[in-house]
Amino acid sequence: MRASVSVSLQEKHGEFEADGNTPSETDVIDAAFLIANHHKGGVRDLAARMGVSANVLQHKLNPNNTTHHLTLRESIALQVMANNPAILHAMAAQLGYTCTPAIPDQSGGDPVEAFMAMQREQGEFTAAAADALHGAAQPNRNELRRVKHQANELMAAVGHLVATVAARTPKG
């Protein structure tokens, strides 16, 4: 039995989300292929940015090719150059994990700012969840995307607050 995997292809609310047209059983090989096919400049642009031959990259991205494969470094480069972490998300999903983008701390190390930012994100998350769950209708995909985005923002803010407290704690 194959696991269902949602591969991100579109940026929504500052994070990548599946667009609903991606097959539910997408694996890392399919994700790499889809990254190139959804990238504005296609394989040629990505190959040039990665410093590899477009022909070789095309072969490596072909899910039906059994002789050419992306290396781990090429996989990372492909995602960075396309600004699309679909392979990362597919890999995490196949292993039973999810990915949360690392967002730079905006508090500047100020503990009060970090605490206020975390509380602000808590409020945004609460509002997104309440909006999605309010009423008799089922939440739509945009409401789900908003809830996921706000959850990621809240998790990052909690991490920033913990890091701020840790930085102020005496060593020893």
Q: Residue 81 falls within a domain, yes or no?
A: yes
Same domain for 125 and 86:
no
Quick check: 48 and 58 in contact, CB under 8 A?
no
Helix or strand holding residue 12 (H, E): strand 10-12
Range(s) of the domain holding residue 129: 111-168
Same domain for 66 and 29:
yes
Closest Cα partner for 35 from 65, 76, 4, 71?
Answer: 76
Q: Residue 82 falls within a domain, yes or no?
A: yes
Q: Residue 73 falls within a domain, yes or no?
A: yes
Q: Residue 105 falls within a domain, yes or no?
A: no
Quick check: 121 and 157 in contact, CB under 8 A?
yes
Total tally of structural domains belonging to the chain: 2
Per-residue model confidence as pLDDT tens for the chain (172 residues): 334 333 444 444 444 444 433 444 468 999 999 999 899 999 999 999 999 999 999 999 999 999 999 999 999 999 999 999 999 989 988 998 888 777 676 667 788 999 999 999 999 999 999 999 998 789 998 999 899 889 989 998 998 898 888 888 898 7
Helix or strand holding residue 87 (H, E): helix 86-94
CATH of the domain at 60: 1.10.260
Q: Residue 50 falls within a domain, yes or no?
A: yes
